[in-house]
Amino acid sequence: MTLTTLLLVALSAAQATPSTDAPRDAATVTAPPLVPTPEACPATAEADYTEGFDALVDGRDEEALEAFQRTLAACPQHPYATELVRLTRARLAPGGRLAQAAVSELGPEGRSDAGLAAMTVVQTLHGAAQGVLLCAIADCSGQGYAAASLLGAGAGAAATLLLAREDGVTSGQAAVINSGTIWGFWFGVSSLLALDLGGDDAIGAAMLGGAGFTGVGILLATTVRPTSGQVSMANSGGLWTGVVTALLLATSDSDDSKTFFAVELGATAVGIASLAALSTQVPVSRGRMLIIDAGGILGGLLGATATFIVAGDDAGDSILVGSAAGVLSGLGLATYLSRDFDVRGAPQAVLTPTLLGRDGAGVALLGRF
């Protein structure tokens, strides 16, 4: 056998011998070990998760995000916290906030033709009243009163339509301007009675009150841009504070009208300012405020009726006190019972563009069910 033949035989034998490093048949390969089941999260993590979920449902997104992050810090393998962190961050993004505003009835108000119509009517009457008062100072004749009222009404209507001809007005803007006019006349008349003014000074106080507070309303409408619900809350604060104060002051035997109207001025001013400040923190609709006002009316009637039934003809001032207590009770009860009033009419779902994940674009779905 030659050397070449011997080498070929050796190579053949080596190829026929199976190598120990070659892969085995697929049927004989053992499965990789299973990933161990993650351990249960500690109680503190579950408590943080529950707190975050409740905050998310209530719309307190910042608090929810902090709670979910604490949950992941204590339990990184939590099955739901990671996704809820992403959801909360999406809600905090500008697109998510737009979706929340679209779902809520209390979001930014748009142009309102009804609001413009209401403002035109009120300011037309305001102009007519200012014309009559001015003519009273000027000691006009009968024809002069008619002409002044007509010119004033036309000026009020024209000014309203000219100011709103481009962008229009929202219902909240119209409400705050009209409310300024009405409260202005109230403060003007109360001031002349509190200061015991007479003649032209009394008429001037009424004119100044109406015109001055209308100007304040225009300033608020163009800068603060309140909603109709916020204006309604402020109006209710002034109305019911004045009513309750008047009922309690009426129980006094004093006939000092100057003190009565001075106290009424202060009470209504405090009521308007307090509820106006509160309306910036507690969203409310005009419809809910009407429900609350109805509660105050029914409460006052019920309080007066119940006091009269119990005390009879000798009730006297007790009826006034009972009515005041009924007003406060009715307002409080109506406020509590209507706590979910603004949620019912919201749309079921809103889809809006937003930023999700790591600088990625997507959509946010938000709704009430």
Residues 6+ apart with CB under 8 A from 259: 194
Which residue, 189, 183, 211, is CA-closest to 269?
Answer: 183
**What are 27-49's pLDDT values in tens digits?**
454 444 433 445 678 888 888 88
Tens of pLDDT, residue by residue over 215-260, are: 999 999 889 889 999 999 999 999 999 999 999 998 887 778 889 9
Would the pLDDT of 358 be above 60?
no
Ramachandran region, residue 225 (left: φ > 0; alpha: ψ -120 to 50; beta: rest): left
pTM above 0.75, yes or no: no
Which one has a higher pLDDT value, 35 or 141? 141
Whole-number pLDDT of residue 305: 92
Q: Distance between CA atoms of 329 and 323, rounded to whole angstroms? A: 10
DSSP helix/strand/coil, 316: coil
CA atoms within 13 A on the CB side of 244: 22
Which of 26-35, 67-76, 121-130, 352-361 has the weakest average pLDDT?
26-35
Is-contact 169 115, C-beta < 8 A? yes
pLDDT in tens, 9-24: 344 444 444 444 444 4
> Which amino acid makes up residue 95?
G
Q: Rounded CA gap, 281 and 275, in Å?
A: 10
- Quote the CA–CA distance of 281 and 228 in Å, as a whole number: 15
**Across residues 146-160, what is the average pLDDT?**
91
CA 302 distance to own-chain centroid: 30
Mean per-residue pLDDT of the chain: 80
* Rounded Cα distance, 144 and 197, in Å: 25
Task: Note the pLDDT of residue 232.
Answer: 93
pLDDT in tens, 304-325: 999 988 887 777 788 899 999 9
Torsion of CA 353, 354, 356, 362, to 10 degrees: 10
